[in-house]
Structure 1
């Protein structure tokens, strides 16, 4: 978040104290309006209510709002940070997977969904009304990831709300949860244990079934406008057999799943050069320790074509084959092919995640101007004159880099640009 001056507005009577990245400007503050100066770090802004309703009249502190001072007069109508809006304005589709707290979600009943009046959207996720409002303001298509435990009622009412409030000229992309094939996530285990197809060691077929059921509900709600809804079936890119299982789900009485309104198969479009793999940890450390080696040049070459580390690849140049292979799978079923997440996956894996030296190297690597060409090459390899390949979803827009990855193409909302971000925007401009 940006540094500088913020105002903390609140109703009621009492006292709020501030710690970590924030200090209160006592002279500028008045009851109901504190002024704080913020210096960003990893600490965050810590607010503590130290007294409330001191006169015992029931006028307790409530409705706390923390706003950059420059937005104090507009925040009620401009509910999104204008700087954020400008950074994402050119993108055509927004996938709300993280906004919806999709991974490990505990949501199931519609009555317990995230609501506009929630004190924070950081716990259960953003309300659908907020996501629809952002899509409407930007005139971009939303991509929703429905919770894996969502009931039919939840799915139906979510779809109805979107139909009633989203601009009618916008398309809706719908996906059941996120990476249900991935055993790191609770959705894998829940669907395996509670899905339609019982007794298996994986949730693949049950995942396909629930995606099909979700799609039937959405298309039913939209009725004559069902063509606006694009149902997406995500799969594990490294294992083509998963795609066959989730699309066919031959153990289901209503098989195949892909015939239930599924519009697209979705894969990842990542590259890493295997730089973060534990077996190359000492090799890359040796690059950093040898003043005669240009470590960035070696890493960039490896990421581009995989020619440096014993032929082990996962490079940008490998993506073309992956895209072609999955295009064939999609075409056989009459489906589009999409990338639900893509970009650089250069990050420490296993024990390497805690290697501070390599973390710093990977972060700096992503800032190199050569990444502009790497991203451009990645996107060019996605282009498909036959039209099977459609959306390529970059992951993600703005995020501070750390040992878990340099996922954001921008590191903070005030950043003017970066090689990766600029490559995305330029590609959009050249391929409207």
Structure 2
């Protein structure tokens, strides 16, 4: 087996100790950083190249990080006997060539371009399916054959990656998991069609998951991956913002229940689709009296969005915060009077203040926090992609440690001055200052 070892050692530059009388205290953080840098400076990094990794395939899975403390190949063999495989002849050589070929295929730019093209074509084919598909037999047949071709291509791609990367590497990647699930859905759907079970309700529901196929394109474009990673990485922070938002909204919801509970009811004419004026119908009793007079078109009804309880209050505030139909809620609150009383135009003008305060604190303030969290995570992911995309975690730590060590310059030894600290020199300087002051006083 051919393996390349790269020994990376850092030079220790002696730094002269300061001879100053003032000794600056060293913080614990600085001590920890110095210890970490000292440890990293003495570590010898060893890693195996692809020719060794390619042999471990289905027999043994390991990470490069686990080999960092080994110095010789014999120690690696003692720890991982599965590495000692004869690739010069026999099954070992055949497996080595086969897996290396698969790796070359899946890493080739043409193969990646072809897979992206197939993903886009399959997504476009899904867009042709509509309610008139049964009437268009030719299009339906073409799409069915195309779906089979897409499924076969994606299955072959998945098998090639299994052989090239190994199961551990493949199934520890979230994007590969997404590809695996989408391919499984297509494979189950194809099998059901072949066996004649495509009309089952469960199969129809499963076929709807084929709409996830366009998501496979996300892992192929770096910009899209940054956006998705930012959204996923923002989930923990979003929960914290959501908690703050719920607390703010709980205050306004409780206030809304105390102010408007049961006050959004009104007497309504179903025939003319108009609300009775307060001068004609003043309260619920008068409205029910009209109903008793066999006026079936009259209803005493409540608005769909109201503040009758805290849950409905949350729903009302959500509609106000999104600025969709919020003015109807505000006008209903401003026109409200007492419980079981017919609303009157702008009877309660002070309720405008309630909605203005909520829009400022509950909408502009809290909802913009969600946008801020997502943008912050997007910038972090973008910076991460630009700096350490091709480095492992240990390489990142080593790089950061070396960068810190490079920024620290050696201290130059400064000789202790003998004149400036002498007692007689200090007395002479003080006397000279006093004499100069007296000299100025004479003028």
- Per the normalisation by structure 2, the TM-score is 0.19
The structure showing larger relative contact order (alpha-carbon pairs under 8 Å, at least 6 residues apart) is 2
Bigger proportion of residues as helix: 2
- Per the normalisation by structure 1, the TM-score is 0.19
Q: Which has the greater radius of gyration?
A: 2
